[in-house]
Amino acid sequence: MNKYRKYTYLALAILLAFILVNAVIWKCWTEKILSTEYNGGDLARMGYLPDSKLLRKNHNDLPLRHIEEHEYHDQSIRVVTIGDSFSNGGGGGKNRYYQDYIASINRCGVLNIESYQLLDNITLTAILRNNGFLDRVRPKYLIVGASEKFCLSLYGKPLDLSINYDMEKLSTFKRMGYNVSQKSTITFINQGNFKFLFNTILFKYSDHAFFSKTYVRDLIKPLFSVKADNKLLFFREDINIIPVTNEKYVSVVNDNLNKLADILRTKGITLYFMPSVDKYNLYSTFIVDNPYPYSTFFEELRKLPKRYTLIDTKAILLPELEKGERDVFYPDDTHWSWKASKKIFETVRFP
């Protein structure tokens, strides 16, 4: 009997220790990177890096707001935006929609159109021009936004800009769903606690803990307002795309945009293209002993003849880093912060 009692106590002790270890790791580190009750970025979550987590809540303190497509009821619109997560509040936090800066600074109506899963945004814009939707809205300017890392895969091939789907047909395509909220179902006992322990060790020997999509490098100066203020977190694809960033593919992107600009001009609309500079690209010259290649996407694009207006986000934001501005991008995310949105649209106006 005493023998069984001893084993029972041992099993209970192991169970209690297991629960206690999980509770401590959860409360001290992983809760704020895994629970969706805390707003924050994917880079810290994927890398299990709580010292780079910047907690933030969505709020807006600007005088004017943009409207979404479902809110449009023939209001006066000067600027239409079509883009990816950067155009759909992906970073969260204060004034997460750059469109609200456009509206507030220019005192005008701004309409954002969420993109579709099976349509690139140049083709989508052409469809909205061809089916008469833009005739109804009558904007003066249209901004196509795209993350730098996806520009070549989406636009680096010839596109058919003659496609014409009516709005009913277009509604059968699935939206990207950037603004779908998710509730956390994670309990304090979870495998992420142990991944955190492993990654804490593995990041000492590898920039990406050998298996993570999150890379971490030291910066020459602190550029973030978190505990790990001189650590740059960036996405694996930021560097994977660099070897195929060459004059040929960038030229095709430029050709597609020039063709889109031409067909929009027949409707009195001026096209702006805003490639969102990748986080790695923007911060790359500040990385200590940087072993990775440098992106030349913006440098190649600047050289080409354009019939559209380029919003050069790299040229606008790089001086902010040189001045030592913190949190131009969120430390834990692939998205820029309100500071970047404000600077960009104080620089680029829509009269």
Q: Helix, strand, coil proportions of the chain in percent (round to 5)?
A: 45, 15, 40
Contact between 161 and 122 (Cβ < 8 Å) = yes
Q: What crossing angle do the helices spanning 121-130 and 247-265 adopt, rounded to 10°? A: 20
> What does the buried/exposed string (b/e) look like for 257-296 if buried means 16 or more CB atoms within 10 Å of the residue's CB?
bbbbbebbeeeebbbbbbbbbbbbbbbbebbeebeeeebe
Mean pLDDT over 236-246 rounds to 92
Going by pLDDT thresholds of 50, 70 and 90, the confidence category of residue 285 is very high
In terms of pLDDT, which residue wins out, 18 or 93? 93
Model pLDDT, residue 156: 93
Contact between 148 and 275 (Cβ < 8 Å) = yes
Q: What's the DSSP call for residue 217? A: E
pLDDT tens digit sequence for 308-342 = 999 999 999 999 999 999 999 999 999 999 999 99
Other C-beta atoms closer than 10 Å to the C-beta of 153 total: 13
DSSP letters spanning 36-74: TTSB--HHHHHHT-GGG---B--B---S---EEGGG-SS
Residue 78 has pLDDT above 90, yes or no: yes
Q: What is the pTM of this model?
A: 0.92
Contact between 83 and 143 (Cβ < 8 Å) = yes
**Structural domains in the chain?**
67-172+239-347 (3.40.50.1110)
3-state secondary structure of 275: strand
Going by pLDDT thresholds of 50, 70 and 90, the confidence category of residue 3 is low
Residue 184 has pLDDT above 60, yes or no: no
Rg of the chain (C-alpha set)? 23
DSSP letters spanning 26-39: IIIIIHHHH-TTSB
Residue 179 has pLDDT above 80, yes or no: no
Give CA–CA dist 198/83, Å, rounded: 37
Give CA–CA dist 336/127, Å, rounded: 29
Give CA–CA dist 142/106, Å, rounded: 14
Calculate the average pLDDT of the chain: 92
Q: Which residues contact 141 (CB under 8 A, 6 or more apart)?
A: 78, 79, 80, 269, 270, 271, 272, 350
Q: Which tokens go with 191?
A: 């495998």
- What is the pairing mode between strands 141-147 and 309-310? unpaired
* 17 φ/ψ angles, rounded to the nearest 5 degrees: -65, -40
In terms of pLDDT, which residue wins out, 19 or 292? 292
What would the 3-class secondary structure string for 107-123 be?
CCCEEEEECECCCCHHH
Token pair 């096209």: residue: 271
Mean pLDDT over 163-184 rounds to 80
Going by pLDDT thresholds of 50, 70 and 90, the confidence category of residue 81 is very high
Residue 29 has pLDDT above 90, yes or no: no
Give CA–CA dist 307/323, Å, rounded: 33
- What is the pairing mode between strands 231-235 and 214-218? antiparallel
Of the candidates 351, 335, 309, the residue with the CA atom closest to the CA atom of residue 95: 335
Mean pLDDT over 145-168 rounds to 94
Of the candidates 167, 166, 170, 85, the residue with the CA atom closest to the CA atom of residue 119: 170
Range with the poorest average pLDDT among 34-38, 42-46, 93-97? 34-38
Residue 37 has pLDDT above 70, yes or no: no
Of the candidates 223, 208, 214, the residue with the CA atom closest to the CA atom of residue 43: 214
